[in-house]
Structure 1
Amino acid sequence: MTAALCLKPLRRPVLWASLWWLAVLGLVVVCLMPPPPLALPAGSDKVEHFLAYFLLAASAVQLYRGGRPLLWVGLGLVLLGIGIEFAQGALTATRVADPFDAAANTVGVLAGLATALTPLRDLLLRLKG
Structure 2
Amino acid sequence: MKKITMPLLMLKQRKYTILWVLWVVAVVVLSLVEGKEMPQAPRIPYLDKVVHFGFYFGYTVLFVLAFWKETKIIPNVKKCYVWAFVSAILIGATMEILQGALTVTRSADPVDMVFNTFGTVVALLFMTRYKELFR
> Which structure is larger by alpha-carbon Rg, 1 or 2?
2
**Structure 1 residue identity aligned to 2:122:** A
**Structure 2 residue identity aligned to 1:74:** F
Does 2:117 match 1:106?
A: yes
Q: Which has the higher contact order (CA 8 A, sep 6+)?
A: 1
**Structure 2 residue identity aligned to 1:56:** Y
Structure 2 residue aligned with 1:33: 33
More helix by share: 2
Structure 2 counterparts to residues 1-129 of structure 1, below 5 A: 12=13, 14-35=14-35, 36=38, 37-65=40-68, 66-118=77-129, 120-125=130-135
Is the Cα–Cα contact under 8 Å of residues 64 and 80 in structure 2 kept in the other structure?
A: no
Structure 2 residue aligned with 1:7: none
Q: After TM superposition, give the deviation of residue 104 of structure 1 in Å.
A: 0.4
Please provide the CA RMSD for this pair.
1.8
Is the Cα–Cα contact under 8 Å of residues 62 and 123 in structure 1 kept in the other structure?
A: no
**Structure 1 residue identity aligned to 2:87:** G
Deviates more, 1:47-56 or 1:32-41: 32-41
Could you give the per-residue CA deviations for residues 47-106 of structure 1, whole angstroms, max 9, x where no partner exists? 111111112212223333312123112210111111101100000112111100011001
Could you give the per-residue CA deviations for residues 14-58 of structure 1, whole angstroms, max 9, x where no partner exists? 342122112111110111002323352443211111111112212
Distance in structure 1 (CA, Å) of the matches to 2:42 and 2:128: 37
1:94–1:15 distance in 2 versus 1, CA, 3 Å: same
Runs (5+) with no aligned partner, structure 2? 1-11, 69-76
Runs (5+) with no aligned partner, structure 1? 1-10
Is the Cα–Cα contact under 8 Å of residues 24 and 56 in structure 1 kept in the other structure?
A: yes
Q: Percent identity?
A: 31
If the length of structure 2 is used for normalisation, what is the TM-score?
A: 0.74
Q: State the 4+ residue runs in structure 1 displaced beyond 6 angstroms.
A: none
